[in-house]
Structure 1
Amino acid sequence: MNPLTPDLQHWLDLAGIAVFAISGALLAVRKNFDVFGMAVLAFATGLGGGLFRDLVIGAVPPAAFTDMGYFLTPLVVTVLVIFLHPQVERINRAVLVFDAAGLGFFCVVGTIKAHEYGLGTVAAASLGLATAAGGGVLRDVLANEVPALLRWDREIYAVPAIVGASSVALLLRYDALNNVTMTVSVLVPFVLRLLALRYNWRAPRAWHRRSAATEDGAGAA
């Protein structure tokens, strides 16, 4: 049950990949990586989550290797950031908004695709989360940083994706997924992420935590 037409889903996929690739390329600029390093982080961020999902569900070869649009999008983003990164940095808030939109879309589409390959409710929702957040985790690992997904001093990212993916998985479970409910499932994580950025919402840490870890996040729960 996928209300999206193949063409619409394809273009939305490319838009999401482009936004995620921008965040990867910009991190490479901040880390003073060379052109190859920028491309690697752009590809990892834009395609990492979808690649992981497709390999787990057995959708091989993954779409990233069968559709040139998927491959060329991070490459084009890398070239743009190489020459225009000061301008891209200046619109970073806008990039965060589009990143939130990509988060909402990818967690929903990832869940639907996992369900289409026969996974149950919990497994499909888990792969929806992996689709949305996996690229960011891979980006941070390659850049030798603690993944933002695991850091308590960053605004919540996984929680909105979990909400979106879980809602779609339940809608699929009860045959209630349609254009309206899917749109709501995309909008909810999108709005939650924007609110988290606006009000600095963070996930709670361990109760009565006695760790002396600093706010840099090293060793934080």
Structure 2
Amino acid sequence: MEELGVLGLLDLVGIFVFAVSGALAAVRQRLDVVGMVVLAEITALGGGILRDLVIGAVPPAAFTSLGYVLTPLVASALVFFWHPQVTRLLPAVLFFDAAGLGLFCVTGTLKALDHGLSPLHAVLLGVITAVGGGILRDMMSGQIPSVLYDRQLYALPALLGATMMAFAHWLDLHGGIVTTGSAVLAFLLRLLAMRYGWRTPRPRGVPD
């Protein structure tokens, strides 16, 4: 197991809030505790597992770190016993969810670049890392994946953050400032979209 640094701790925070969103989705669908744990684990780890499988980093990180597996279990227990209170804290959960989105799109892009993918493909894989778990969550709970109608700017912030990271890498710019800046870009755009109700456009003539 790798030593847990600052990025590792932030990664676990992102995993936790994504797991909370998966567990809350299970509550809304009236699933039992097994369904809750499955949705929490899939939401938190699905994007990273897909990324690692694509780039051939096997076994995926989710299967080599105990914290990656235990964190969604903790989130599931929290929601199982106190989901009304967690629901009331939803604005705070969404805040950290936005932070997780920014972090995951950047770390996914970096990991893809480190494995030799082109900048374009690395960006795509960064977005998959950030939104893949949510797609799997929605599909398993019988809903149309929200990323297919990005009405609250979720995929777009991830795309911009991943693009900034890949472009900086292409310019041979590295370091914490570049990584943080790319993550903050996605994070702030997501927050602003929630605050001001920004939406992606629909095809012409299709009503909102």
TM-score, normalising length: structure 1: 0.90
Pair 1:54 & 2:52 matched: yes
Pair 1:207 & 2:204 matched: yes
Pair 1:167 & 2:137 matched: no
How far the C-alpha of 1:201 sits from its partner, in A, is: 0.9
Point out where structure 1 has 5 or more consecutive residues left out of the alignment.
216-221
The CA distance in 2 between the partners of 1:165 and 1:150, in whole Å, is 19
| Structure 1 partner of 2:74 | 76
- Between 181-190 and 21-30, the greater mean CA deviation after superposition: 181-190
| Structure 2 partner of 1:126 | 124
Name the SS of the counterpart of 1:17 in structure 2.
Answer: helix
More helix as a share of residues: 2
The CA distance in 2 between the partners of 1:151 and 1:175, in whole Å, is 35
Deviation string for 1:187-213 (max 9, x for gaps)?
11111001111111111111344xxxx
- 1:155, 1:201 within 8 Å by CA — same for their partners in 2? yes
The CA distance in 1 between the partners of 2:149 and 2:183, in whole Å, is 24
The CA distance in 2 between the partners of 1:126 and 1:63, in whole Å, is 19
Equivalent residue runs for 1:103-182 within 5 Å: 103-151=101-149, 154-182=151-179
Pair 1:15 & 2:13 matched: yes
Deviation string for 1:135-194 (max 9, x for gaps)?
001000000001111125x31111100000000011111111222122111111111001
The CA distance in 1 between the partners of 2:26 and 2:153, in whole Å, is 22
Name the SS of the counterpart of 2:31 in structure 1.
Answer: coil
| Structure 1 partner of 2:32 | 34
The CA distance in 2 between the partners of 1:6 and 1:30, in whole Å, is 34
Deviation string for 1:49-101 (max 9, x for gaps)?
00000000000000111111101111111111100111100000000000000
Instruction: Spell out structure 1 runs of 4+ moving beyond 6 A.
Output: none
RMSD of aligned C-alpha atoms?
Answer: 1.3
The CA distance in 2 between the partners of 1:144 and 1:177, in whole Å, is 41
Given residue 191 of structure 2, which amino acid in structure 1 is its aligned partner?
Answer: L
Name the SS of the counterpart of 2:5 in structure 1.
Answer: helix
Name the SS of the counterpart of 1:160 in structure 2.
Answer: helix
Identity %: 54
| Structure 2 partner of 1:218 | none
